[in-house]
Every structure is written in structure tokens, then in C-alpha cells.
Structure 1
Amino acid sequence: MTWFFISIFAFLAGHMVPGLFRRQLVARLGTTLYVLFFSLISMALLVWVIGAELQADYIPLWPYDPREHWVPILAMLPVCVLWVAAVRQPCPLSIGRAAGYDPHHPGINLFTRHPLLLGVVIWGVTHMVPNGHLAAIIFFGGSALFAVLGMGRMEKMRLRQLGAAEFNRLCAGTRRFDWRGLLNGALDWRDVVGGIILYGAIIWLHPLVLGRDPLAF
């Protein structure tokens, strides 16, 4: 478990420390290079955490039931749609691009202005259900908690960057979470089709990358 906890600490530090020096790093590297390096470091640290979690000591917290696998299997399809929408559509107050955002047509922001982070929350919470052991709960539960806290952190960061007037202008019509947005054009067919394709890719790659087939239970 030692290396698992070290990897968790490194992952958190890798996300928190660059944020403390974001202005200086962006001024020196530029926004594009900063985002690129931050993304590469984040992915490398995430791979380390996943590998350490798979090798960590198995300390059960509740009995295993194969039927629990249906929880993340069913939940991951809407998660994938959210992640595709986070890439396709502008999300000016969260992780994602701001260019092209129209406050009069908020899109996915009608449902949630943090689609990527909300997807991580659902991914983490639902993956805890069939993985009732200590390392998995720390990993998945910690990821979900980190994403929830990240929503407030992203909004505070955008408020500092944009100023109150511009932040409020962009924020108008958006929601942290409002299911009624799905009835008012938050998603379009490209988000849904892209989410289905991403879902299929994850199901296919899961056993190849992680050594665990989500459909073999």
C-alpha cells in the first residue's frame, strides 16, 4: 500500500502545485504549452495511480456480488456522453474551451457547467460499488471528491481571471446541475453518438489496458 499512497500524494501535488504558480508558468510558457504540459503530467500521474491501485494490498470492506458490476456498466454510457459534450461544446467556467460560447445558447451548461467533472464524479461513485476494497475506495472515492471540490475551485479561478462582471455574464443561464437542461437542448445528437462511440472504445480497451474485462463477471 506504500507506493499506492505515494502515488496518490504525487497525483494531488501534481494538480495543486502548478495551480499555485499558474500565472508565472502561463507567462513563461504560454497558455497552450502550459495546458499541454499539465495534461501530460496529469495523465502520467493518473497511470501511476491506477497501476499502484491494481498492485495494492486487497483489504475487503464489503462482500463481492457480481450483480454490482451492472452499476458502472450502465452509468458509464451517460458519463461518456458528458465527456464528449465537454470536449465538443464550450465550457467557459470549467475544464474545457471558452471560445465560441454564447450565453444565449448555453448548450451543455444548461444541464451542468462542469460536464467533465460531473462525469468523473459519476465514474468514481459507481465504480466503488463493485470494488469494495480499501485501495479502490480511496482511488474512486477520492477521484469523485476531488472532482466535486474542483467544481468550486474552477469557478473561483475563472472569477479571478475574468472579473465579476464577465463571470456573471457567462454564468447567466448555466447551472451546477439541473436535469431540466436535458429537455432544453443541453445535448445534441453528436454528443450522444460520440458518447456511444467512446463507450464502446472504453469497453473494448478496458481489458487490454487494465487487464479487467467489465463484461466478464
Structure 2
Amino acid sequence: MGGIMTAEPQHTWPVPPPDGYTVDDLFALPDLPPHTELIDGSLVFVSPQRDFHTIAMYLLEAGLRRTVPERFRVRREMAVVLDARNAPEPDLLVLHAEAVQGRRQTRYEPADVVLAVEVVSPDSEARDRDSKPGKYAAAGIPHFWLVEMAGEKDHPAVHTYELDPVTKAYGLTGIHHERLKVTVPFTIDIDLAEVDHL
């Protein structure tokens, strides 16, 4: 009488080097899950997203694409190499058009980025609110938006920030609930209440 054979999962997770991973490791390690980020030398994997995250990204991406001047490009979830141990992947980016070198491109430099957008998720609250904005500011990215779920209807609230070149820190320029209407980095007008129709 034969025994029952069970298969054990064959996951082999990479063992981090003593000093943590580098950007070179991030782009060389095989079979990493999609949208893996490198934060302070640690690999950060993306958890399943809430519906809010998806519709907020869709709404903002559509609004940015509708209003973006020809000199810029909009991208989503692309790595930005800040230094040897940090390559976060903002949810949305606005880039200088000349930064886009080809369809096989996997990363951008901070100087390429005009605006970085993070939509807060339960598993990424501390990174999105504290760690990433400080890193983006230190790298010289001029504009940052933090998008959170707010109010009884769980609508997006967009906190807009602009880099102070003297302090190298972001200053809050507004909190937008029903409508996101700004003139920098270019004229943008997005009806945030449209989430009810998505």
C-alpha cells in the first residue's frame, strides 16, 4: 500500500547580503514579484491592493494624461533610483519627456521626475507618509502628492507638496477633497468625486 505524497512549496527566498541589497541586486535578482521596491537596502513586496487604490490611481492617471503638456510623460509603477540602496516605485510619475529612452526601460533617475504620487495602502502607510516623501525630497523631486482615503464616502483626499530648495523638504501646498485644481507642475483640474462612477 503506497503512502500519500505531499509536495512542499518550493519557494526559495533570496538571502540578503550583510549590508542589505543594492539597486544592482534589485535589477539582477531573478523571479522577484512584480513591483518589488528597494527601501534602505531591503526588498519590499507589494500586498494585494484595495479597490480604493486602483480607482484612485486610475482617476489621477487619467486626469494627468488629459492635462499633461507635451514636454512631460506620465508613467505608473516604475522604479526611481534614488541612491545605491533605494529604488522605490511611486504609484504615478510625471517625467521629463526626454527621460523616456525606450520601451525596455526599467528605471528613472530623480532628475527625470517632476511629480511623484503615492496612494496610501494599509500595508504601506508608514513608507508612504514618512519614509518615501523624505527620500523623494532629499533626491530633489520637486513635487509630491500623497493620496489617502477620507470622509464618509471613502473619496480620495490629495495632499499636494512642493520642494523647498533651501531646506530640501516638502511644504504642504494644499489638501484637495472634491476637486484637485493646481497650477504646478502644470495646470491640472481633476474631479475627485468621479470615483463614485468608476
| Higher normalized contact order (CA 8 Å, seq sep 6+, divided by chain length) | 1
- 1 or 2, which has the higher strand percentage? 2
> What is the TM-score of this pair, normalised by structure 2?
0.32
Q: TM-score, normalised by structure 1?
A: 0.30
